[in-house]
């Protein structure tokens, strides 16, 4: 009999849910992560008493009561509601597009005035029957003002290309709200864990053996027979030595600064929608938790190209990459006793609630 039932590769959210359930069902598990900390991308670093979202701002939101009840077993959530702002040439607009945004853009007060204005703006582009790129698509959906002030520059920075060279399907529709409501999400449940995100993972992994600074590929050479099965939440193409080629990602670079002021921008998230400002957003972390510290910590986010070896953030799910993933998936299906899971194992952008859902489903199947 091998020492463990499961070798769990990764100490992120997917792995933590899987291993918690497996341990509770009496399985023997070892968790390893190549990073020096647990938590994967939801890890928060404590800087001057502020939980800094080191791998990008995270807001938990879900409509799934089962998932909400599950995470609430481990932490309590605060009442944070995501209400980002957009800064265009020094003027601030509320997001998502709602009556506050329309009022600031055009001075309209009623939903009817706002709808009429949007129709007037769109009518200028009515001649575009089949939008050939993202710019044309956006103009036919919202007209010039919203596109130029709030969409164009931000999208170009995110993708590192002019909007005229981006495919139209990136924007399928634009969610307009004709109410004065700045809550970004429509979900029933939303918040930030009191004590930060790392606490969720700490609680889930409570009493479970974890080795950080341990890369799977090195570890398995020395311990090939350590476990009956492996859960792998790293990159699927890396697992197979990139033998079919590398899947592409977009990366993000963060410039984090401690400032000697208690409140820098008065909001957790401010998007910079001009092309000329090099960063896409500034996150002021303390506002996620209504922090009262004397100092503040901000992170400027820069969207960047990704190369093998860099931190992979967003999968680029175009036709070519999806096809390549399908080929890797075929190899994965043949791999005996290895389960691939999580955002990197499935080459898919998952919000946290979807990761929990998927992990619960996977472990349930495993333990059945
Ligand atoms: P990860 O957290 O990436 O965990 C995988 C772990 O595996 C990592 O710790 C890694 O070090 C480890 N690993 C990889 N390879 C190896 C190896 N060879 N050996 C050992 N260990 C290895 N979701 C929301 O719901 N709300 C948000 O606001 C939100 N914001 C986001 C912002 C950004 C910028 C990004 C990129 C994502 C955001 N998400 C958000 C999604 C969220 O981050 C993911 O759902 C979640 O982190 C995925 O968890 P995971 O366990 O699948 O992957």
State yes or no: pLDDT of 173 exceeds 90: no
Task: Give me the pLDDT at residue 26, please.
Answer: 97
Task: Give me the pLDDT at residue 121, please.
Answer: 97
Task: Give me the pLDDT at residue 305, please.
Answer: 87
pLDDT, one tens digit per residue, over 112-152 is: 999 999 999 999 999 999 999 999 999 999 999 999 999 99
Whose CA is closest to 33, among 25, 43, 24?
43
Task: Give mean pLDDT, residues 234-260.
Answer: 96
Q: Pocket around ligand 1: residues whose beta carbon is below 6 Å from it?
A: 9-15, 32-35, 40-42, 56, 58-60, 215-217, 233-234, 252, 313-314, 342-344, 350-353, 355
How many angstroms is it from 60 CA to the middle of ligand 1? 13
State yes or no: pLDDT of 6 exceeds 90: yes
State which ligand 1 atom lies nearest to the alpha carbon of 82. Answer: 28
User: Which neighbouring-strand residues pair with 231?
Assistant: 8, 339
Residue bearing the CA closest to ligand 1, atom 43:
41
Residue bearing the CA closest to ligand 1, atom 14:
234
Confidence class for position 8, pLDDT limits 50, 70, 90: very high
pLDDT, one tens digit per residue, over 66-107 is: 999 999 999 999 999 999 999 999 999 999 999 999 999 999
Task: Give mean pLDDT, residues 293-297.
Answer: 98
Task: Give me the pLDDT at residue 307, please.
Answer: 87
* C-alpha to C-alpha distance for 93 and 144, rounded to whole angstroms: 16
Q: What amino acid positions are annotated as catalytic residues?
A: 173, 177, 250, 281, 301, 349, 351
SS (H, E, C) 261-287: CCCCCCCCEEEECCCCCCCCEEEEHHH
Task: Give me the pLDDT at residue 345, please.
Answer: 97
How many angstroms is it from 12 CA to the middle of ligand 1? 6
């Amino acid at each position: 009999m091998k020492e463990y039932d499961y070798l769990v590769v990764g100490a992120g959210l997917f792995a933590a849910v899987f291993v918690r359930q497996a341990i509770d069902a009496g399985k023997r598990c070892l968790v390893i992560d190549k990073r020096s900390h647990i938590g994967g991308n939801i890890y928060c670093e404590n800087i001057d008493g502020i939980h800094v979202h080191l791998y990008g701002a995270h807001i938990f939101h879900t409509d799934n009561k089962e998932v909400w009840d599950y995470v609430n077993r481990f932490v309590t959530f605060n009442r944070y509601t995501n209400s980002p702002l957009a800064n265009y040439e020094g003027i601030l607009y509320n997001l998502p597009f709602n009556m506050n945004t329309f009022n600031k853009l055009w001075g309209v007060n009623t939903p009817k005035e706002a709808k009429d204005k949007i129709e007037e703006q769109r009518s200028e582009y009515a001649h575009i029957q089949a939008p050939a790129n993202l710019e044309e698509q956006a103009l036919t959906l919202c007209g010039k003002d919203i596109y130029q002030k709030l969409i164009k520059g931000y999208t170009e920075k995110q993708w590192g290309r002019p909007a005229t060279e981006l495919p139209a399907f990136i924007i399928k529709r634009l969610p307009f709200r004709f109410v004065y409501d700045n809550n970004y999400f429509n979900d029933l449940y939303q918040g930030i864990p009191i004590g930060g995100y790392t606490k969720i993972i700490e609680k889930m992994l409570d009493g479970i053996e974890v080795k950080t600074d341990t890369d799977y590929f090195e570890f398995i050479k020395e311990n090939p027979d350590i476990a009956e099965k492996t859960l792998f939440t790293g990159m699927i193409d890396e697992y197979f030595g990139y033998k079919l080629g590398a899947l592409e990602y977009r990366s993000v670079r963060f410039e984090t600064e401690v400032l000697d002021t208690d409140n820098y921008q008065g909001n957790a998230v401010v998007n910079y929608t001009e092309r000329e400002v090099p960063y896409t957003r500034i996150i002021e972390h303390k506002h996620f938790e209504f922090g009262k510290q004397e100092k503040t910590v901000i992170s400027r986010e820069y969207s960047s190209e990704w190369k093998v070896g860099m931190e992979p953030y967003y999968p680029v799910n175009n036709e070519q990459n999806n096809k390549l993933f399908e080929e890797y998936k075929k190899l994965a299906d043949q791999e005996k006793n290895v389960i691939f899971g999580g955002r990197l194992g499935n080459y898919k952008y998952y919000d946290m609630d979807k990761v929990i859902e998927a992990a619960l489903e996977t472990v349930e199947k495993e333990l059945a």
